[in-house]
Structure 1
Amino acid sequence: MTLTLLHTSDWHIGHNLYGRKRYEEHEAFFQWLLQYIEERTVDVLLVSGDIFDSSTPSNRAQSLYYDFLHRLSRSSCSHAVITGGNHDSPTLLDAPAALLSSLSVHVVGRAPEKPEDSVRVLRDAAGDPVLVVCAVPFLRDRDLRRVEEGESMEEKDIRLVEAMKGYYAAACGHGEFLRKTMSPSVPLVGMGHLFVAGGRSENGDGMRELYVGSLARMGSDLFPPYLDYLALGHLHAMQRAGKKDHFRYSGSPLPMSFGEARRSQGVLLVSFNENGLAGIETGEVPRFQELLSLKGDLLFLEKRMETLKKEGSRAWLEVICQGEGLGGGLKEYMDDLMSGSFLDLLRVGYEKSEGGCFLVSDGVEQLSDLDVREVFQRCMDVGEVPEKRRAQMMRLFEDILSEMAIRDGMAE
C-alpha cells in the first residue's frame, strides 16, 4: 500500500498587504497547487485552518475557494479534509459541508460537541479504509467548557488547558479505536490549529496570541504519541513541532508580511507505505508577487532603486531609511526615484538609532485596508493599554467577532 498526503494551511484568502489585494496571488497558488497534486499523484489534501483571512470573506475570496475545490474534485486527489482556524467563521465553513462531502471534501469548521465526531475515515473506490483523520479545528473556549462563576484568569487557563487535552485525547483515542477495528496498517493522522511550545514566527507576520498565560503555547504532549503524522496550522513558518519529525507545521503558502518574505514558503508531501510513514518532502511554492524590503542610507536606497528599475522589477517594496533622512519627504523622494518603473511602494519609514521603526504617515494606508483586528490593536496602542492586559483583551475581542459571525450565520 502506498498513500500520499499533501499538508498545507494558513491560506488567508482575501488577505491584503498595506492596501494591496492579493487575489491574483491566491489564484496563481491554486493553479500551481492543482498542478503539483497531479504531478505527485496526491491522494489526500489536508488543510489545517485559516482558509480565509477574515471571518467575513469577500465574495471573490469565497469564489476562489469554491472554484479550487471544484477543480480539485476532478483531479487525482481522492479526498480533502479542511478544518477551521482562528481567522475563519465556523458557520461559514460548515454551511456547505454536506454538499462538499459529495465531492469527497470533508469540512470541520466548528469543533463538534463530541470530539469523536471530528474523526473521518477515508476510503478508496472499493470502499476499503485508507486513512483515519482526527480533524480537530481551532478550539475556542466555548467549544470546550462553560465558564464558572468567580473563577480567576489563572483558574480559567488551567481548566481550558485540561479541556483541550481531553478533547484531543477523546478524538485521537476514537481514531485509534477505529483504526484497530479496521486494520492496524491504516495510517492515523491528526490535525490542529494552535501554537505549540517552541514554535517560531517571523516578526511582523500578523500572528495573534489566542490565549492568555499558559495557553499561548501548548506542549506537544497535548497529542498522543501513536499518531502517524500531525498536520498543524497557525504558524506561518514551516517547521517541526515539539522537536518531533512527524509533527509538522506546513506554514503559509504566501508570505503574509515583508518579514515572512525573507524565507521561502511551501507545502509538505507526506508518504506512507505498508511499513508506515515513508517520508516527508517539502514542495517549495513559487513567489507569485515579489516582496522586497530595502534598508540602508539614502545612497544605498538610490542605488538599489536604480538597479531595480533597470531590471524591470515589479516588486512591492518596503523602504526603511537608516541614518540622516528627509523627514516627512521620504515617500515623495522614493516616488520620484521609482518614476517610470513598475515598482510599487507599500511601506516607508525611518529606523530609530536605538532600534525599532517609525513609519512615516504617508497616506498609503486607508482604514478600509485594515483588518478589524489590526484596528483594535492600534486602538490599544493609542490607549496605551499595558502589555500584560493586551492578550486578555484580544481574546475577548476574538470572542466578540466569533459571536457576531455566528449571529450573521443564523440571520442568513
Structure 2
Amino acid sequence: MTVRFFHTSDWHLGQFFYNHSRQYEHEQFLAWLIKQIQQKQPHALLIAGDIFDVINPASAAQKQLYQFLADAHDIAPNMQTLMIAGNHDSGYRIEQVEPLLEKYNAKTVGVIHKNAEGQIDLDRLLVPIYDEHKKIVAWCLTLPFLRPAEITGFNEQTASSQNAIAYLHQQLITEAKKRTTDDQALILMSHAHMQGGETSDSERPIIIGNEEALSTALFDDAIDYVALGHLHKPQKVGQEHIRYSGSPIPLSFSEINYKHQIVEVTIDPTQTDESRLQFEAAAIPRSVQLHKIKGELNDVFTQLTALPHGEIDNIDHREYVDIEYHTAVPPQPNLRQQFEDALPKGRYRLVRISRQYLASEKSGDENTQISLEPPTPAKLFQQIWEKQGYSNDDQVLKDFLCLVQEAEKTLENEHEA
C-alpha cells in the first residue's frame, strides 16, 4: 500500500530577526502549505523539530501552530500531523496539549519516556500512519532531540550518551521491524546533527561535551526514508533517502541562497526497484527578501542605490538589508544615517551593519572584522577566554556549551514545574 507524506522541519515559529517579528513570513508559508495539503491530500505531514524558536514561545506563535492544525484538518481530515521536539523546543510543553492535538489528528513526541518496567517506552515512539480506510500504511519512528538526561541510565547499555543513542536506535528499529508487514513502509523522523551535514550560522550548537555528530550507520537498511530536522539547508546526507528538508524561511543572512522547500515523499513497499521510493521538492515562495551588501564604502553606496524601488507600506513586509563595509579608517559618526538615506525609501529594513578594517601598516596583514550583532554565549565566552590570555581550546568551548545546555534544561524544568 503506497504512503505519501510531506517532510518539513525547523519552522521556528515566533522568531525575531534582529528584533523584527517573522510572523508575516510564517503566515505566508503556512498559507502556502495549506494549499499544498489541499491539492495533494497526503497521508501525513511530518514536522521534524524546532517547531518554535524558543522553549517558551509567545502566545502568538502558539496560536499560529494551532490555527494551522485546525485549518489543515478542515481541508484534509484524513491527514495525520506528526511532530517531534527539536533543541529549540520544550518537549514537555508540546506534549502537554495532546488532548487538543488529537482533535486535529495530530501527535507530538517531545521527550523519551520510561514505561512501567523502567525501560524506554518504545510504544510512544512508534506511531502508525493510516490511509483513509484506517489501514496502517506505514510506521513512523519518532526521535525528538535526544538530551543526555532523558536517554542515559536505563541499563548498562545507556551509561554514556553515545552508547545510549546507539542503543535507542537499535531497540526502536528492532521493535519497528517486528510490527511492520511487507506492505507497510518504515519512516524514521529525527532532530539531530548528522555527520556530513552542511550547517549555517543560525543553528544553535547541539554537539556538546565529548559528543560528535551522529553517523548515518545508526539507520538500518530496512528504513525506507529518514526525515531529518535541525540543519536549515535542504540536503541529503550520504544516501538519497536520508534528508534534511531545511527551514521554510531564511533564518540568517547566511541562508540567503538556500532553496527552501518541503519534500513530498511517496513509498510503495510492494516494489523492490527504484520505484519503491520517490520524492519531489516543492519550492517555498519567499515572501520577504534578504539583501547582503559587501564592499568598500563607495561600492556599498552604489549597491544600495541600485536596489529595487517601490514603497512597501507595512513595515513587517519590508525587505531586510545587511551591510558589511570595508575601510582602513574609523567610520564617520553619521554613517548609518548615510546608509539609510541611500536606500530607496519605504522598502527596506537595515537590520545589521558590520565593518571590516582593511590591512594597513599599523594593523598588519590580517583583516579585523567588527560585528554589531549581539554575541552568542559561545562567542562571548570565547572573547573573554582569549582576553584572559588563554589559547583557543575546542574542548573548553564544548564544556562551556554543555553547561549552557544544562542551565537551559534546568530553567525549562523549573518553568514546567
- Report the TM-score when normalising by structure 2: 0.86
The 1:37/1:326 distance shift into structure 2, 3 A limit, reads farther
- The answer as to whether partners of 2:151 and 2:158 remain within 8 angstroms in 1 is no
In 1, distance between residues paired with 2:356 and 2:384?
24
Map 1:105-116; keep pairs closer than 5 Å: 105-113=106-114, 114-116=120-122
Structure 2 equivalent of residue 233 of structure 1: 229
Is 1:291 the counterpart of 2:290? The answer is yes
Partner SS, residue 86 of structure 2: coil
Alignment partner for residue 241 of structure 2, among 246, 252, 255?
A: 246
Partner SS, residue 150 of structure 2: helix
Partner SS, residue 408 of structure 2: helix
Which stretch has the larger CA shift, 398-407 or 377-386? 377-386
Cα deviation, residue 405, structure 1: 1.4
Alignment partner for residue 335 of structure 1, among 333, 336, 340?
A: 340
- The answer as to whether partners of 2:48 and 2:227 remain within 8 angstroms in 1 is yes
In 2, distance between residues paired with 1:334 and 1:165?
53
The 1:328/1:163 distance shift into structure 2, 3 A limit, reads farther
Structure 1 equivalent of residue 370 of structure 2: 358
Structure 2 equivalent of residue 151 of structure 1: none
Task: For residues 191-212 of structure 1, give each alpha carbon's deviation from its aligned partner in whole angstroms, at most 9, with x where no partner exists.
Answer: 111111111012x223313322
In 2, distance between residues paired with 1:233 and 1:349?
31
Cα deviation, residue 234, structure 1: 0.7
Cα deviation, residue 106, structure 1: 1.3
- The answer as to whether partners of 2:151 and 2:161 remain within 8 angstroms in 1 is yes
In 1, distance between residues paired with 2:122 and 2:332?
58
In 1, distance between residues paired with 2:203 and 2:336?
24
- The answer as to whether partners of 1:115 and 1:167 remain within 8 angstroms in 2 is no
- The answer as to whether partners of 1:309 and 1:338 remain within 8 angstroms in 2 is no
Structure 2 equivalent of residue 208 of structure 1: 205
Runs of 4+ aligned residues of structure 1 deviating over 6 Å after TM superposition are none
Cα deviation, residue 223, structure 1: 1.6
Which stretch has the larger CA shift, 187-196 or 138-147? 138-147
Cα deviation, residue 49, structure 1: 0.6
Cα deviation, residue 136, structure 1: 1.0
More helix by share: 1
Cα deviation, residue 172, structure 1: 1.6
Cα deviation, residue 404, structure 1: 1.7
The 1:95/1:147 distance shift into structure 2, 3 A limit, reads closer
Amino acid at match of 1:15: Q
Partner SS, residue 352 of structure 2: strand
Task: For residues 17-64 of structure 1, give each alpha carbon's deviation from its aligned partner in whole angstroms, at most 9, with x where no partner exists.
Answer: 111111111111111111112222222101111111101111111111
- Over aligned residue pairs, what C-alpha RMSD do you find? 2.4
Map 1:65-84; keep pairs closer than 5 Å: 65-76=65-76, 78-84=79-85
In 2, distance between residues paired with 1:22 and 1:212?
33
The 1:387/1:267 distance shift into structure 2, 3 A limit, reads farther
Cα deviation, residue 409, structure 1: 1.6
In 1, distance between residues paired with 2:267 and 2:368?
46
Amino acid at match of 2:296: D
Map 1:130-141; keep pairs closer than 5 Å: 130-141=137-148
Structure 1 equivalent of residue 151 of structure 2: 144
- The answer as to whether partners of 1:115 and 1:171 remain within 8 angstroms in 2 is no
Structure 1 equivalent of residue 216 of structure 2: 220
- Report the TM-score when normalising by structure 1: 0.87
Cα deviation, residue 326, structure 1: 5.8
Amino acid at match of 1:317: V
Structure 2 equivalent of residue 390 of structure 1: 397
Cα deviation, residue 272, structure 1: 1.7
Task: For residues 276-300 of structure 1, give each alpha carbon's deviation from its aligned partner in whole angstroms, at most 9, with x where no partner exists.
Answer: 6331111111111111101112222
Partner SS, residue 206 of structure 2: coil
Cα deviation, residue 338, structure 1: 2.5
Is 1:349 the counterpart of 2:349? The answer is no
- The answer as to whether partners of 1:201 and 1:207 remain within 8 angstroms in 2 is no
Structure 2 equivalent of residue 127 of structure 1: 134
In 2, distance between residues paired with 1:157 and 1:112?
14
- The answer as to whether partners of 2:128 and 2:138 remain within 8 angstroms in 1 is yes
Structure 2 equivalent of residue 318 of structure 1: 322
In 2, distance between residues paired with 1:391 and 1:227?
32
- The answer as to whether partners of 1:207 and 1:235 remain within 8 angstroms in 2 is no
- The answer as to whether partners of 1:309 and 1:343 remain within 8 angstroms in 2 is no
Q: What fraction of aligned residue pairs are identical, expressed as a percent? A: 24
In 1, distance between residues paired with 2:175 and 2:332?
61
